[in-house]
């Protein structure tokens, strides 16, 4: 399966693209989808960001024009969704003919997730399992579970029931495109045409919503920053920028993200011990502490060390258990440990885990995170 990684990375580039849309290509593809759905070409309304698109939909009441009753088939949004769904079902049927029994295939996918496509092919992993792991799973993690999920936090719930399409669907289009490119499935001509339309849209623009007479088209970000997800082998990415918004649009909508976790701007721009103490969200506190560094935080916050022990699962490193005030009159225990696997730059990340206050032993705290007792954890050879 030489070349699968290159195909995946090309689609990842489409999904993470941050420059102006090719409006001519995007509008032409959407017009074709409307015609194939039995509707006239719509009026196009371009907005600077998906949040601006959702605001427009809410203000103009466009979502209320959709019918979810017995006549729902008359809505262009539903017709397009149905047309694409039926096409995918036909392509899935053709792909399934080359699969082995599902339990075996599922185990093969798990194996393929942990190694490169070429290594998987050398040990006899099926092309289906390789493509599922290296293309679908990888791109879904980076784009659908990552970027699109973050995007939804900027938008009101009022548009939640309206189908929207765009860059976050690159994993889906890439999956079928990979089968086509490698000659592993021969799709119907009408499905190939739809795949080409979807391919053109994914490469030409960001997010869009279809209504009977109007199509709302959102521009792509002006900035979109990611980093590799540690421990992954298929170029999975997560949103992150160390000192600026990870996601930003021309109209000022933006998100600060620390290693995949959405955080308030102060966590990235100006984290302080005082702000950390006032923060109720545990994940936000953890990110802010990592921003200023554990040694600095321990010193400035005056954390009390409860226990320290060599880490039997990570030779050469120690476990440290501290008591920490949450700033709201309560105290927590936090275990400071070192990751068993290095980051891509070779460094080992220090991280803190909140553990029950009843635990007063560093070994017991580490064991608790694995659901075992301290005695069993002490017998570990290496933790990853």
Query: 50-88 pLDDT, tens per residue?
Result: 999 989 988 888 876 554 444 445 788 888 989 999 999
pLDDT at residue 73, rounded to an integer:
53
- pLDDT band at residue 97 using 50, 70 and 90 as cut-offs: confident
First to last CA, the chain: 28
At CA 148, angle to CA 152 and CA 2, rounded to 5?
170
pLDDT at residue 167, rounded to an integer:
81
The closest of 249, 256, 238, 366 to 314, measured between CA atoms, is 366
The pTM is what? 0.86
Residue 75 is encoded by which pair of tokens?
């809505």
CB 212 within 8 A of CB 222: no
| Helix 4-15 with 189-204: angle, nearest 10 deg | 50
pLDDT at residue 327, rounded to an integer:
56
pLDDT at residue 164, rounded to an integer:
77
Q: Which residues lie across from 320 on neighbouring strands?
A: 308, 336
CB 151 within 8 A of CB 247: yes
Q: Is the pLDDT of residue 218 over 90?
A: yes
CB 198 within 8 A of CB 11: no
Say how far apart CA 205 and CA 197 lie, in whole Å.
12
Task: Please give the share of the chain, as a percent, with pLDDT higher than 90.
Answer: 61
**DSSP string spanning 204-259?**
H-SEEEE-SSEEEEEPPPSEE-EEEPTT-SS--EEE--SSS-SEE-TTS-EEEEET
pLDDT at residue 306, rounded to an integer:
93
Give me the torsion for CA of 125, 128, 133, 136, rounded to 10°.
Answer: 170
Say how far apart CA 371 and CA 353 lie, in whole Å.
14
Query: 327-381 pLDDT, tens per residue?
Result: 555 678 889 998 766 666 556 778 888 899 899 999 999 999 888 888 888 877 5
DSSP element (H, E) containing 351: strand 350-355
Q: Domain locations in the chain?
A: 4-224, 264-293, 303-378
> Which CA distances in Å does 335 have to 276, 351, 353?
17, 8, 5
Say how far apart CA 242 and CA 144 lie, in whole Å.
22
**Which DSSP letter does residue 127 get?**
H
**Which DSSP letter does residue 346 get?**
S
CB 237 within 8 A of CB 259: no
When pLDDT is averaged across residues 115-125 and rounded to a whole number, the result is 93
pLDDT at residue 67, rounded to an integer:
47
CA atoms within 13 A on the CB side of 131: 24
Residues across the chain:
384
When pLDDT is averaged across residues 177-200 and rounded to a whole number, the result is 94
Residue 251 is encoded by which pair of tokens?
């109209």
Q: Is the pLDDT of residue 116 over 90?
A: yes
CB 185 within 8 A of CB 14: no
Least confident of 2-16, 66-80, 81-95, 188-202: 66-80
Least confident of 13-27, 51-65, 174-188: 51-65
Query: 257-273 pLDDT, tens per residue?
Result: 999 999 999 999 999 99
Say how far apart CA 115 and CA 127 lie, in whole Å.
14
As a whole number, the mean pLDDT across the chain is 88
When pLDDT is averaged across residues 40-44 and rounded to a whole number, the result is 96
The closest of 366, 8, 358 to 182, measured between CA atoms, is 8
């Amino acid at each position: 399966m030489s070349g699968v990684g290159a195909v995946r990375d090309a689609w990842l580039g489409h999904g993470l693209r941050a420059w102006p849309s090719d409006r001519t290509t995007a509008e032409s593809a959407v017009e074709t989808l409307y015609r194939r759905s039995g509707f006239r070409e719509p009026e196009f309304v371009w907005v600077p960001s998906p949040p601006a698109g959702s605001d427009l939909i809410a203000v103009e009441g466009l979502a209320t024009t959709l019918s979810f009753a017995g006549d729902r088939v008359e809505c262009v949004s539903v017709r397009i969704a149905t047309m694409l769904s039926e096409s995918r079902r036909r392509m899935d049927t053709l792909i399934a003919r080359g699969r082995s029994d599902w339990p075996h295939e599922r185990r093969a996918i798990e194996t393929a997730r942990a190694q490169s496509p070429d290594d998987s092919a050398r040990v006899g992993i099926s092309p289906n399992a390789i493509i599922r792991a290296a293309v679908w799973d990888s791109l879904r993690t980076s784009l659908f579970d990552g970027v699109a999920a973050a995007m939804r936090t900027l938008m009101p719930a009022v548009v939640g029931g309206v189908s929207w399409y765009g860059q976050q669907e690159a994993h889906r289009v890439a999956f079928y495109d990979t089968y086509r490119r490698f000659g592993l499935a021969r799709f119907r001509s009408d499905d190939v045409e739809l795949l080409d339309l979807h391919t053109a849209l994914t490469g030409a623009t960001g997010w869009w919503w279809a209504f009977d007479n109007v199509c709302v088209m959102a521009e792509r970000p002006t900035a979109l920053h990611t980093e590799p997800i540690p421990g992954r082998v298929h170029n999975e990415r997560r949103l992150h920028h160390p000192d600026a918004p990870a996601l930003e649009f021309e109209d000022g909508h933006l998100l600060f993200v620390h290693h995949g976790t959405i955080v308030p701007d102060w966590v990235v721009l100006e984290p302080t011990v005082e702000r950390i103490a006032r923060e109720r969200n545990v994940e936000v506190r953890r990110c802010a502490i990592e921003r200023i560094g554990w040694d600095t935080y321990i010193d400035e916050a005056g954390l009390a060390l409860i226990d320290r022990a060599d880490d039997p699962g990570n030779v050469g490193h120690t476990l440290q258990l501290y008591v920490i005030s949450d700033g709201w009159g309560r105290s927590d225990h936090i275990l400071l440990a070192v990751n068993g696997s290095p980051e891509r730059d070779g460094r080992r990340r220090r991280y803190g885990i909140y553990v029950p206050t009843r635990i007063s032993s560093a070994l017991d705290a580490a064991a608790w995170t694995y659901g075992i007792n301290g005695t069993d954890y002490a017998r570990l050879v290496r933790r990853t």
